Amino acid sequence: MNTFVDSLQFFAFIFLELTILFLGVSTLIGLIFEYVSDDAIRRRMSSKGLLGNFLGAALGAITPFCSCSTIPMTVGFLRAGVPFGATLSFVLASPLLNPIIMAMFWALLGWKACLTYGAVTFVIAMFSGMLLESFGLAKDVKNVRVSGGHGARERLPSFWAKLRRAFSGAWADFRGVLVYLVAGVAIGAVIYGYVPNEFVANLAGPGNPLAIPVAAIIGIPLYVRAETVIPIGVALTQKGMSLGAVIALVIGGAGMSIPEMSMLAGIFKPRLVCVFVALVFSTAVLAGVVFNFIQI
């Protein structure tokens, strides 16, 4: 009975905390975008050189998109003439870095984990886009066409009207991820209450040298958003799983899901899709090793 109560308390506390974070951060980002036009974003990302990659990764880091939104935006950027490298930096950063994920890291794993995760994934996304462009992989983009655009957003006159639309968008996004959030917190609660510490520590603790790459590979078929797997990771760390393995699981699951890869195959040739998967896997392993090395 005590174990059940502990699991229930874990679920209630984490779910409430993440709900408040999701709605608050999403509303804030939506309000910011009420004042920034889509054309202005495209113009900024068209900067040549490392600045374009920086801006591409930065846009991915501040937009709370899943793969279903990232891929159409990727097509739009390419058709609008945004450099290939900047676009790839956006594609890499978008599912792994956004304010919601960062807020969850900060709240559940601490500010050091949050800043380290953000820095490692941002830098890798930025320089990976630059390297892919320098290797000439831009020719592996298929001749795609943009269809079904939503057109320009109506410009609202008042702050309160903008705030209402921003919250409405945040609420719609929250409803879209609610089932994943509940599933992630519920699984985390079960792990927290019922999985023996020794089992997790032996399987994926700091003493297992294969824990990080295995966790990255396990994440691929799960098709989980980072918002889903982070609560699971919190419970696993409390059971003895190394933080590096948790980070690898988060990046593998969020960055290389099978549905996203199939969508990318519609706009990228097979070689570029394979390179992208290898990049995300390398990012997952490298980030996990960094976390374990500095012992956050």
pLDDT cut 70: percent of the chain above it: 72
Please state, in angstroms and as integers, the Cα–Cα distance from residue 149 to each residue in 72, 75, 145, 178, 246, following that order: 9, 11, 11, 26, 37
Evaluate whether 26 touches 59 at the Cβ level (below 8 Å). no
- Write out the H or E segment, with its range, that includes residue 95: none
pLDDT bracket for residue 295 (50, 70, 90): low
Please state, in angstroms and as integers, the Cα–Cα distance from residue 115 to each residue in 52, 67, 99, following that order: 22, 23, 12
pTM above 0.85, yes or no: no
pLDDT higher than 90, residue 122: yes
| Predicted pLDDT of residue 54 | 92
DSSP 3-state of 238: helix
- CB count in 10 Å sphere of residue 249: 30
Lookup: tokens for 52: 């374009």
71 Cα distance to chain centroid? 14
DSSP 3-state of 141: strand
CA distance 57 to 121: 9
Evaluate whether 276 touches 74 at the Cβ level (below 8 Å). no
Structure-derived torsion over alpha carbons of residues 66, 150, 77, 146, reported in degrees to the nearest 10: 100
| Predicted pLDDT of residue 178 | 79
Lookup: tokens for 48: 């040549």
Picking from 72-76, 119-123, 169-173, 278-282, which range would have the lowest pLDDT averaged per residue? 72-76
Note the helical H segments in the chain: 2-33, 38-45, 50-62, 67-79, 84-93, 99-109, 111-134, 159-194, 197-204, 211-219, 226-238, 243-255, 258-264, 270-294
Strand partners, 141: 268
Picking from 21-30, 130-139, 214-223, which range would have the lowest pLDDT averaged per residue? 214-223
Q: Which of 275, 188, 196 is nearest to 224 (CA)?
A: 188
pLDDT one-digit tens code per residue, 130-148:
999 889 888 888 765 433 3
pLDDT one-digit tens code per residue, 150-204:
445 667 778 888 889 889 888 887 787 677 678 767 876 787 777 666 665 666 6
Evaluate whether 107 touches 21 at the Cβ level (below 8 Å). yes
The count of residues in the chain is 296
φ and ψ at 156, to 5 degrees?
Answer: -85, 145
R_g of the chain computed on alpha carbons = 19
Instruction: State the average pLDDT over residues 18-43.
Output: 74
pLDDT one-digit tens code per residue, 63-90:
765 555 566 677 667 766 788 899 899 9
Task: Give the chain's mean pLDDT.
Answer: 77
